[in-house]
Amino acid sequence: MITLRGLTKRFGATVAVDALTVDIAPGRVTGFLGPNGAGKSTTMRMILGLDRPTSGTALVDGRSYRELRRPLHEVGALLDARAVHPARSGRAHLLAMARSNGISARRVDEVLDTVGLDGSAAAKPGRTLSLGMGQRLGIAGALLGDPPVLMFDEPVNGLDPDGVRWVRHLLRSLAGQGRTVFVSSHLMSEMQLTADQLVVIGRGRLLADAPVGDVIAGS
Ligand code: ADP
Ligand code: ADP
């Protein structure tokens, strides 16, 4: 469960996220829909403790990110441009993440397999990976700690149609396992196929929080 209460972020005069109050429940895919610049990434960064709220709170299972004892085991995330280290190989990146979080090398190979990065792709330096491969690597990182809460920021960017279907299937199955799945997109058409619930924002403000069918009917 992700709990946002009056979550607000200002960058100078820009109100990137404006008093967002939402519960993101387990066992379903919650789509986070809004145009570019709406505040989706900033919201996710605050949930992960990477941006500090100007006011309000973002909690994962009742605790702020800083209070999580084993963060990678409690929340996994794919955020833009975080996945790929230019020089390190994908596998080395995941091994480093695993090592500093008490996770085995075997688990690294397991998640690489889950995302379909085979031995040679996983051995390439980050800078040589395609966008789609980078996305898969980032998703592998999110899954590493087997967390109950997962966030994906525009996960289908750069993926081919097979990759898009694969991500959709993965998100559905993670939710089916009872996990909280929070996924951002600027594409209603994509969210319609992937999400159960939709949280819609524009200019940082909550515009809707409803089952996906209701949002379509009302739009
Ligand atoms: P989205 O993910 O929905 O595209 P963002 O959260 O990236 O939106 O951005 C929301 C708003 O905050 C935009 O106006 C963006 O320009 C601004 N913004 C985001 N990060 C910063 C930053 N580090 N400094 C200044 N403005 C920022
Ligand atoms: P750096 O590249 O500066 O070493 P890291 O990428 O290791 O930083 O991560 C910084 C913080 O973000 C850490 O607290 C880490 O637990 C968290 N973090 C990094 N990647 C993920 C992820 N995929 N899911 C959840 N938390 C992550």
Amino acid at 213: G
CB atoms within 10 A of CB 172: 16
Establish whether residue 42 lines the binding site of ligand 1, counting it when its CB lies within 6 angstroms of any ligand atom.
yes
pLDDT for the residue 51: 95
pLDDT for the residue 33: 97
pLDDT for the residue 80: 74
The atom of ligand 2 lying closest to the CA of 76 is 24
Structure tokens at 99: 């090592």
Establish whether residue 8 lines the binding site of ligand 1, counting it when its CB lies within 6 angstroms of any ligand atom.
no
Closest CA relative to residue 31, chosen from 158, 213, 161: 213
Nearest 10 degrees: Cα torsion 126, 132, 133, 137: 90
Structure tokens at 21: 């109050």
Residue in 2, 44, 46, 48 to alter for ligand 2 test, most ligand atoms within 8 A of Cβ:
48
pLDDT for the residue 68: 94
Establish whether residue 100 lines the binding site of ligand 1, counting it when its CB lies within 6 angstroms of any ligand atom.
no
For residue 150, what is the enclosing H or E element? strand 149-153
What is the strand order of the sheet 14-24 is part of?
Answer: 14-24, 2-11, 55-60
pLDDT for the residue 82: 62
71 CA distance to ligand 2 centroid (A)? 9
- Its ipTM equals 0.79
Task: Please list the ranges in the chain whose pLDDT falls under 50.
Answer: none
Residue whose CA is at the smallest distance from ligand 1 atom 10: 39
pLDDT for the residue 83: 66
99 CA distance to ligand 2 centroid (A)? 12
pLDDT for the residue 219: 65
Residue pair 108/88 in contact (Cβ under 8 Å)? The answer is no
pLDDT for the residue 217: 77
